[in-house]
């Protein structure tokens, strides 16, 4: 199977003849390829004997033929794909074929703005994860974990902010209004997630209120007096409501708005004057 794929790539993509010893082929079907023209379609690591290919950059006819080869021999896929599965590959292939105009607009906007290349890669993955969660009802915890292992807590922040539409709902309008303020705030918004607290299953009541205080302290330097609490799932909705009830004295300092829709809750907090 490995030799079959390698022969196909050599015939269709004009891989250099120097690429001989390949032990692993990594298929990258949703992240962007490196910037250089030389590595637009693939990246070869001679020392590790690994070849990473960027199927998003393949000509359409080549990509369709490649997908067919993979599907026909999917039972042998574990010999070829590192840290992947046929099920995962199928989802990524389907994602690539869908009409994702909104996602492409978002990515193009932030590419033009000039956010760090790593953030752009994480954002593209985050948009894919958002699609899995909201359009297909998939459990995304393993996806978030994989990104966090690879890129740290920053990836977790970007996925959470993306899932709550902060990139297109807050950051793009902020940039359109003031480029200077955007670049001043960007690191605190993305790196420290200062605008939002995302409640998860092991988060205590004390941690929720502590996070609110810490993030409002960061926001003060920009004159921002609001923060949002997000929760998904019955347990987290209950945890947030309990937190509001048992810390009533603390939350009396805020104007509170609560939006609850099915399995999702958003609590808007604005400091009173």
Last residue of a domain, one of 70, 97, 124: 97
pLDDT at 262: 80
- The better pLDDT of the pair 83, 102 is held by 102
Q: Is the same domain home to 206 and 218? A: yes
Express each pLDDT in 168-185 by its tens digit: 888 988 898 889 889 999
Query: pLDDT over 90 for what percent of the chain?
Result: 14
Q: Which of 48-52, 99-103, 187-191 has the lowest mean pLDDT?
A: 99-103
pLDDT-derived band of residue 188, with 50, 70 and 90 as boundaries? very high
Q: What is the 3-state secondary structure (H, E, C) of the chain?
A: CHHHHHHHHHHHHCCCCCCCCCCEEEEECCCCCCCCHHHCCEEEECCCCEEEEEHHHCCHHHHHHHHHHHHHCHHHHHHCCCCCCHHHHHHHHHHHHCCCHHHHHHHHHHHHHCCCHHHHHHHHHHHHHHHHHHHCCCCCHHHHHHHHHHHCHHHHHHHHHHHCCHHHHHHHHHHHHCHHHHHHHHHHHHHCCCCEEECCCCCCHHHHHHHHHHHHHHHHCCCCCEEEEEEECHHHHHHHHHHHHHCHHHHCCEEEEEEEECCEEEEEEEECC
Domain membership flag for residue 235: yes
pLDDT at 91: 52
pLDDT at 81: 40
Number of domains present in the structure of the chain: 3
Domain membership flag for residue 67: yes
Across 113-137, average pLDDT: 85
Last residue of a domain, one of 97, 118, 145: 97
Express each pLDDT in 51-64 by its tens digit: 777 777 788 888 88
Domain membership flag for residue 185: no
pLDDT at 48: 64
Q: Is the same domain home to 91 and 104? A: no
Q: Is the same domain home to 93 and 13? A: yes
pLDDT-derived band of residue 131, with 50, 70 and 90 as boundaries? confident
pLDDT-derived band of residue 83, with 50, 70 and 90 as boundaries? very low
Q: Is the pLDDT of residue 237 over 50?
A: yes
- The better pLDDT of the pair 202, 78 is held by 202
Domain membership flag for residue 188: no
Q: Is the same domain home to 145 and 228? A: no
Q: What is the extent of the structural domain holding 70?
A: 2-97
Q: Is the same domain home to 7 and 89? A: yes
Last residue of a domain, one of 82, 97, 112: 97
């Amino acid at each position: 199977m490995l030799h079959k794929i390698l022969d196909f790539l050599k015939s269709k993509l004009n891989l250099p003849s120097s690429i001989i010893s390949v032990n692993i082929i990594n298929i990258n079907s949703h992240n962007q390829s490196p910037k250089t023209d030389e590595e637009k379609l693939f990246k070869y690591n001679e020392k590790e004997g690994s070849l990473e290919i960027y199927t998003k950059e393949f000509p359409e006819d080549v990509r369709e033929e490649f997908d067919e080869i993979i599907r026909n021999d999917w039972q042998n896929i574990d010999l070829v794909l590192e840290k992947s599965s046929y099920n995962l590959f199928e989802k990524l292939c389907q994602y690539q074929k869908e009409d994702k105009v909104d996602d492409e607009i978002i990515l193009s906007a932030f590419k033009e703005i000039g956010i760090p290349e790593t953030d752009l890669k994480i954002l593209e993955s985050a948009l894919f994860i958002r699609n899995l969660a909201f359009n297909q009802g998939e459990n995304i915890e393993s996806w978030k974990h994989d990104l966090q292992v690879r890129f740290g807590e920053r990836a977790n922040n970007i996925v959470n902010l993306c899932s709550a539409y902060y990139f297109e709902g807050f950051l793009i309008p902020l940039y359109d209004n003031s480029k200077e303020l955007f670049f001043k705030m960007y690191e605190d918004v993305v790196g420290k997630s200062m605008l939002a607290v995302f409640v998860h299953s092991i988060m205590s009541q004390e941690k929720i209120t502590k996070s609110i205080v810490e993030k409002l302290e960061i926001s003060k330097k920009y004159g921002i007096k609001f923060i949002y609490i997000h929760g998904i799932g019955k347990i987290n909705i209950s945890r947030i409501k309990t937190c509001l009830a048992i810390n009533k004295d603390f939350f009396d300092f805020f104007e509170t708005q609560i939006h609850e829709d099915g399995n999702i809750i958003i609590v808007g907090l604005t400091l009173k004057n």
